[in-house]
Chain A
Amino acid sequence: MKIVVCLKQVPDTTEIKIDPVKGTLIREGVPSIINPDDKAGLEAALTMKDKHGAEVIVLSMGPMQAEEALREALAMGADRAILLSDFKFAGADTLATSTALSYALKQLDYDFVITGRQAIDGDTAQVGPELAEFLDLPQITYAAGIDYKGDGVFHVTRKVEDRSYVLKVKAPFVMTVLSDMNKPRYMSVPGIIEAYREKKIDLWTADTIKADPARLGLKGSPTKVKESFAKALKQPGQLYEVDPQEATKIILDKLLEKFVL
């Protein structure tokens, strides 16, 4: 079995700096982590490897420093790491990102592809589904579990707000996973030593993946960022335990106070 896990290195902070001109994220100087949903995807792949035997390939598009995230994935137990890095990829929105990733995936053999549901720095949840479209593969989003009994059919639990479904799917397919599906393992001591001393990271450029340059990076990104902002902390609401008559008065007063009425 071969599994490709797409992962993204994201800034480990809620206070992200934004380039005021381009409207894109400034990653330099901010501590980075593997995006939590993607890390759960890696854990799901590694669990599959433990149980059934699999080659786990991690694939990331990003600047050279994303190598650190890939080394972490190798130290956790991934077998091979590929970094898509080229100035031609810079400034990519979700469409250009999934385009580049799909070109890369066309160079690889796999049974299925795992991506995180969404990245904490963008919250779009678009790359996984777009990837499935470009690859013309069935997709299962919001996966919370995957089970395999060795018969060529994967049982994927899909979790939505108030219910979950178990879907049967045959390879190849794409699934996007939720961070709460598992508790990712730690890097191990031998894993770290191998990842840093023995394993190499394959560096792929736009040429390697034979992609159309017009569809990559800023050029291939139709998204225009209108405004970027850090999420403000919401204050908890006020709770009144009063009778309906008094409640009506409180609501009216509040609406008057805020000039709604």
Chain B
Amino acid sequence: MGFEMTKEMIAFQKMLKAFVENEVKPFAQETDEEEKFPVEIAKKMGDLGFYKIVLPKEYGGAGGNYQMYSLAVSEVAKACATSSTVLSAHVSLCMAPIYENGTEEQKRKYLPKLATGEWLGAFGLTEPNAGSDAAGQQTFAVLDGDEWVLNGSKIFITNAGYAHVYIIFAMTNKSLGLKGISAFIVEDGTPGFTIGKKELKMGIRGSSTCELIFENCRIPKDNILGQEGKGFVIAMKTLDGGRVGIASQALGIAQGALEETIKYTKERKQFKKTIASFQNTQFRIADLFTRVEAARLLVEDAAIAKETKRKDLSMRAAMAKLYAAETAMEVTTKCVQMFGGYGYTREYPVERMMRDAKITEIYEGTSEVQRMVIAGSVLR
């Protein structure tokens, strides 16, 4: 399993590092403190083509691959998890399902504008009573002439309020259970569609997380995404891809925290020595670095599985997300410890990284759900 970087990837990483250092990192703290959606960073990512990476050229994409996408999410997450959430939700949860399930007309209408960032995207599956148990959908859609009429609400929706295109899941036939769920494309500004309560969160505080409300929201009949009744399959496949993004994000958070900590331990002196010269610090750093590298290999493997459309993508993406998320949590917690009192202050970024890391164990499937997916594959 050798992942030697191609010259193209080396150049891409060089660009990402320069971009993140100059355009993302300086704004990470205020994005968090002021709970400010990173509008400027989202625009700059769009201008440089971050949203085009995996999209084929015919739809305005760059024709790159998932390894590049994964690297982009990680590098951004190293400095600002919020910004990487915007990127990951937009690409994996909105652009990917349209590209993979949309009609030619839908692809031509939505993908080019999503690719430039002129439009941002979001994904609405979770409801108050349908989290890990997605089958509990209470939002429903009824066909009325040439329009679908949506009623219900969604919660915890990333990019809400800033997105223009929302992928919404709703029951079209309750008696069929999971097979009665369908996916729809709903545009911002559609009458009957409003943004509800904004969540106040522990981490990724600049990311917009809101409720979506549908009250007799009428959308064109053609805005159904994929076949009627295939919504659950679309959601699960979308989340398989999305987990590659979140795994990359978790990896980036862990790498970012560790980089900050390595730098700090080489500068910080106690008992007239740098704390990096104590064996306790050295062993901790060695353990964390090893763990991060193991996570990186799993994340790269999942990105390749997505790129090559491997049949066991679900399991590979779940393993990558599970391991990278738990790594991010462990690494950031221990990094705060190594910073000591300073680590607990908002003067240094590691406390933010620790708060940001926690979400990766929860969204797009909790670590428990990932274990269900993995066990389901292994024990089949």
What residues of chain A have their CB less than 8 Å away from a CB belonging to chain B?
A: 68, 71-72, 75, 186-193, 195-197
- Residue contact B49 to A188, C-beta cutoff 8 Å: yes
A-B contact pairs, 17 of them (CB 8 A): A68-B11, A71-B7, A71-B11, A186-B15, A187-B11, A187-B14, A188-B47, A188-B48, A189-B12, A189-B48, A189-B64, A192-B8, A192-B11, A193-B63, A195-B11, A196-B6, A196-B11
Of all chain B residues, the one with the shortest Cβ separation from A76 is B15
Q: Which of A68, A192, A197 contacts B15 (CB 8 A)?
A: A192
- Residue contact B7 to A193, C-beta cutoff 8 Å: no
Of all chain A residues, the one with the shortest Cβ separation from B49 is A189
* Min distance, Cβ B40 to any Cβ of chain A, angstroms: 15
B379 at the interface (CB under 8 A from A): no
B15 — which chain A residues lie within 8 A by C-beta? 75, 186-187, 192
Q: Which of B7, B14, B18, B52 contacts A190 (CB 8 A)?
A: B52
B62 at the interface (CB under 8 A from A): yes
The complex places the Cα of A191 from the Cα of B53 at a distance, in Å, of 11
User: Most chain-A Cβ atoms within 10 A of its Cβ — which of B7, B15, B18, B47?
Assistant: B15
The complex places the Cα of A209 from the Cα of B380 at a distance, in Å, of 67
Of all chain B residues, the one with the shortest Cβ separation from A198 is B63
- Residue contact A186 to B62, C-beta cutoff 8 Å: no
Of all chain A residues, the one with the shortest Cβ separation from B52 is A189
Of all chain A residues, the one with the shortest Cβ separation from B53 is A189
- Residue contact A192 to B12, C-beta cutoff 8 Å: yes
A72 with B11, Cβ < 8 A, contacts A189-B48, A190-B52, A190-B62 known: yes
Q: How would residues 1 to 41 of chain B score, 1 for a CB under 8 Å from any chain A CB and 0 otherwise? A: 00000111001101100110000000000000000000000
The complex places the Cα of A197 from the Cα of B64 at a distance, in Å, of 10
Of all chain A residues, the one with the shortest Cβ separation from B23 is A186
A197 with B8, Cβ < 8 A, contacts A186-B19, A192-B15 known: yes
B49 — which chain A residues lie within 8 A by C-beta? 188-191
B50 at the interface (CB under 8 A from A): yes
Interface residues of B in 41-94 (CB under 8 A from A): 47-50, 52-53, 62-64, 68, 72
B47 — which chain A residues lie within 8 A by C-beta? 188
- Residue contact A186 to B64, C-beta cutoff 8 Å: no
The complex places the Cα of A196 from the Cα of B15 at a distance, in Å, of 14
A186 with B18, Cβ < 8 A, contacts A193-B62, A193-B63, A193-B64 known: yes
The complex places the Cα of A189 from the Cα of B71 at a distance, in Å, of 12
